Structure 1
Amino acid sequence: MPSNESPQQPTPPSPSTPDPAPARSSTSRLVPSSFRDLPSVVWTIFAGTIINRLGYLVTPFLVFFLASRGVTGSDTSYVLGALGAGNLLGPAVGGILADRIGRRPTMLIGLIGASAAQGALFLAPGVWTMAAAALLISAAGSTVSPAAYALLADAVDSERRQRAYALFGWGVNIGTAVAGILGGYLAAHGYWLLFAVDAGSMLVYALVVAVRLPEPRRTASPRKTSGRKDGIGYGVVLRDRLALILLPLFGIQLFVYSLTEVALPLAIHDSGLSPAVYGAMAAVNAILVVALQPFATAWLARFPQLAVQGAGGTLIAAGVALTGVADGIAGYTVSVVVWSLGEVVVAGIAAGVVANLAPAHARGRYQGAYSWTWGTARFAALTLGVAVYTTLGPSVLWWTALVAGTTTAVATVALTPRVTARTAHELAV
């Protein structure tokens, strides 16, 4: 984090008056150029995200933990299904709370609730109590993202939002990459360490939020200022026709990307390769994203956002589809490199576009809708993706990913004139 920024902002930033860019200092030269002008709020969320993701240990090792407790077979699916279902519930609640009670309170509720749920899962005596705790972990944890996304949108202007979200994603990847190494070491010394570090990292992030993040001044809703009825929930999003077109397109692209988490290990297993190969592929992805994303974000900023999103989405679809023709470590490495480059290209764009479409008073709900789209895509990959792979065959899944990913990429680019006109209108207002 740039050292010239004071620990506390003297006045909480307003959504209509984002933080100015920090002054240049000698240490700021260590920061990638694409991120240097981002304000302290963004850097605080970045640092907190790394801390939080360093403790993202329980979920990757959950199957192994359940097996150690004697939970196997169909009973495991109940717990994993509950974990996925929480990702559908949490973003919807988080988006509403972010707009109703504030960004910071919502983040604190989610972080503290998820931390408590980690302890509940470790101590749960049976399958159904484990499933309930898993549901609470993912539901509480996923309420944080809409509030954090909305706070990032409050803190910066529309020109810098993509970079702010890209920095957020960079923090996720940095923390996840380190957690992958840390998790294996801790699991070998006792699963309780995974839960302790996971819960502790959430509490540390909650402390960062409480001490370092200011709550922006609330923006009055149109219902209060112009008499237009806004509703108490997601009506403001459901009436937005452009958002209702974009979100499903983003969702399909996210579904294709999520196949890298569930279908790739199945393919590697079916090729007769060891789990260590999948670990190596995850390391390739993490190294590429962490190393390239800051530079790619700076270089790609000169191009239209949706054109870049379309190009990146095509790379992801092509990389996932290449999994179907891979027959060894070299082939899988090529496929991972291709979709990892796509991941680098699209970093921060979808969330930034959604933020620019949102009225200031509804940013939390728009980001809640986007996060819910993310959760739906991941849940579909875990269920529908695996079902297609195991019943219809791997080739059907890979061709579906290629066609769906490229088609939605083209459709997304075609919406550029409408999104540009809408963004210009929102800025004028």
Structure 2
Amino acid sequence: MPRIVWLLVVARAINRLGAFSLPFLTVLISDDFGASVTTAGLLSAAFGLATIPSRLAGGRLAGILGRRRTIVLGLTGCAVAQLAIAAAGSLVQVAIFAILLGLAFELYEPPSQAMIADAVGPAERVRAFSLLNAALAVAGTGAGLIAAAVGRWDLRWLFVVDALTCLACAVALRLALPADHPGRRPAAAAPGSGTGGVDAAAEGRGGPVRPWRDRALWAMFGCGTVFALVAMQVVMGLPLTLARRGLEPADAGLLFTASAVTVVAAQPALRLRRIAALSDPAALALGYALMALGLAGYALASSLPAFLVGTGLWSLGEVFVLGRVFGVVAALAPPHGSDRYLAAYGISWGVATTAAPITATQLLDRFGATTLWACTAALCLALAAAQPLLVAPLLGRHRPPGPLPEAAPGAPRLRGARAD
């Protein structure tokens, strides 16, 4: 991997080590300010809603200010907002600063993901994004341990420590990343080069990037939103399910650790010839099918070993999914439009963060744990079926306007398609 990929992966992992404060926002609101659980949940949902425009702004600002400046701005904004939450003296102040935190929270993601996508060739994007996913999984495990230690002292200190890691990450990336040249644009891709998407021709003339006019991106966004909803329902619903099955809810931490270990241990599998040779829709379908199998195991599990088996299966599926989706979205983008495309795709997580607390708890309360996980597994099966039926045809037709050369030597058949 190029140096810039390792730099962004390590910096993001360090930042993730400190990102343990958000799960405790509702606890802080309830304990320190006497708010009801409903009020605390609404404020957390407001934070989730604020991350949606934050993600879109990150894509736009990367093109206006430059990627490095946008990354530093987002990390610094998160630090300031979290310090303000730690020092807040009223519920109104916490609500304001929580929304401000959401508005800064996703600025980092589109430019950093675009830098990784642009630093490697299409054939290496799966490995690069899988490496990022593995680093985040390991750092997330460490974050839980730090939260357990610091949170016993004072919940407000969680936000202070989180803010300090954001500032440290901002300073390191400001010094290490290459300088911004937001006015400089890469040359347009040559016809038949296989790069770019439906707006590639316009981009070569300096035209605007319009990701939402791309039907292939809409297909990826729809599937990504369902996938993100599934992932967030696991976070929300697993501790509650353990309690209803007569197990210790804190064992969810053990299961999430097992998930992180699986994600790291499975990385070498991505280099296997048969796995690497899979087309993107086939690899995504395989990943979603494995996730469905693991989550169906949750519906039937009644012991911790059974939950561990289910966790290993859906985590393995997640490795195939997360390694591919960002590479596919980056490949759809025009030469200098990856920031906007990744930003558009990424708001799926904001939608899921807002919806999952409602869907998971309502299914659990009204129908029980078995129904919750059966429905979640069914969503994954639907995603697996959608890849060959819906996503593959759209990716195959994804090309800039105008006829393709019929017999250009060495030219790929599908423009914008990934060459595996």
TM-score (normalizing by structure 1): 0.83
1:129 and 2:119 equivalent? Answer: no
Match runs of 1:6-405 below 5 Å: 38-69=1-32, 70-215=34-179, 218-219=184-185, 225-226=204-205, 230=208, 236-292=210-266, 294-299=267-272, 300-405=275-380
C-alpha distance in structure 2 between counterparts of 1:76 and 1:254, whole Å = 22
Q: Cα deviations across residues 172-215 of structure 1 (Å, max 9, x unaligned)?
A: 11211111111101112332432222011111111121111114
Tell me: CA distance 1:225–1:305, structure 2 relative to 1, closer, same or farther (3 Å): closer
Shift, 1:79, TM fit: 2.3
Tell me: CA distance 1:100–1:341, structure 2 relative to 1, closer, same or farther (3 Å): same
C-alpha distance in structure 2 between counterparts of 1:85 and 1:343, whole Å = 24
Shift, 1:91, TM fit: 0.9
Counterpart of 2:270, as a letter, is T
Counterpart of 1:109, as a letter, is L
Q: Secondary structure of 1:331's partner?
A: helix
C-alpha distance in structure 1 between counterparts of 2:346 and 2:284, whole Å = 17
Shift, 1:389, TM fit: 2.6
Shift, 1:224, TM fit: 7.1
Equivalenced residue count is: 385
C-alpha distance in structure 2 between counterparts of 1:114 and 1:380, whole Å = 23
Tell me: CA distance 1:224–1:342, structure 2 relative to 1, closer, same or farther (3 Å): closer
Deviates more, 1:394-403 or 1:351-360: 394-403
Counterpart of 2:349, as a letter, is W
Q: Secondary structure of 2:247's partner?
A: coil
Shift, 1:417, TM fit: 5.2
Shift, 1:134, TM fit: 1.6
C-alpha distance in structure 2 between counterparts of 1:66 and 1:374, whole Å = 23
Tell me: CA distance 1:316–1:275, structure 2 relative to 1, closer, same or farther (3 Å): same
C-alpha distance in structure 1 between counterparts of 2:37 and 2:117, whole Å = 43
Shift, 1:225, TM fit: 4.7
Q: Cα deviations across residues 20-39 of structure 1 (Å, max 9, x unaligned)?
A: xxxxxxxxxxxxxxxxxx11
Tell me: CA distance 1:398–1:209, structure 2 relative to 1, closer, same or farther (3 Å): same
Equivalent position to 1:425, from 409, 415, 419: 415
Tell me: CA distance 1:242–1:407, structure 2 relative to 1, closer, same or farther (3 Å): same
Counterpart of 1:313, as a letter, is Y
Shift, 1:227, TM fit: 7.2
C-alpha distance in structure 2 between counterparts of 1:272 and 1:133, whole Å = 38
Alpha carbons 1:255, 1:377 under 8 Å: kept: yes
User: Which residue does 1:416 correspond to in 2?
Assistant: 392
Alpha carbons 2:203, 2:334 under 8 Å: kept: no
Shift, 1:259, TM fit: 1.4
Shift, 1:98, TM fit: 1.7
C-alpha distance in structure 2 between counterparts of 1:129 and 1:122, whole Å = 10
User: Which residue does 1:22 correspond to in 2?
Assistant: none
Alpha carbons 1:296, 1:344 under 8 Å: kept: no
Alpha carbons 1:257, 1:317 under 8 Å: kept: no
Shift, 1:371, TM fit: 1.0
C-alpha distance in structure 1 between counterparts of 2:234 and 2:329, whole Å = 24
Q: Cα deviations across residues 90-146 of structure 1 (Å, max 9, x unaligned)?
A: 112111212222211111111000000001111122223212212222331211111
Extract unaligned runs of 5+ from structure 2.
Answer: 187-199, 400-413
Q: Secondary structure of 1:339's partner?
A: helix
Shift, 1:81, TM fit: 1.6
Tell me: CA distance 1:315–1:426, structure 2 relative to 1, closer, same or farther (3 Å): closer
Shift, 1:427, TM fit: 7.9
Q: Secondary structure of 1:425's partner?
A: coil
Tell me: CA distance 1:276–1:398, structure 2 relative to 1, closer, same or farther (3 Å): closer
Tell me: CA distance 1:177–1:126, structure 2 relative to 1, closer, same or farther (3 Å): same
User: Which residue does 2:197 correspond to in 1?
Assistant: none
C-alpha distance in structure 2 between counterparts of 1:80 and 1:374, whole Å = 14
Tell me: CA distance 1:341–1:369, structure 2 relative to 1, closer, same or farther (3 Å): same
Extract unaligned runs of 5+ from structure 1.
Answer: 1-37
Q: Percent identity?
A: 29
Alpha carbons 1:91, 1:371 under 8 Å: kept: yes
Tell me: CA distance 1:152–1:227, structure 2 relative to 1, closer, same or farther (3 Å): closer
Alpha carbons 1:254, 1:377 under 8 Å: kept: yes
C-alpha distance in structure 1 between counterparts of 2:114 and 2:211, whole Å = 14
Shift, 1:74, TM fit: 2.1
Alpha carbons 1:321, 1:402 under 8 Å: kept: yes
Tell me: CA distance 1:296–1:139, structure 2 relative to 1, closer, same or farther (3 Å): farther
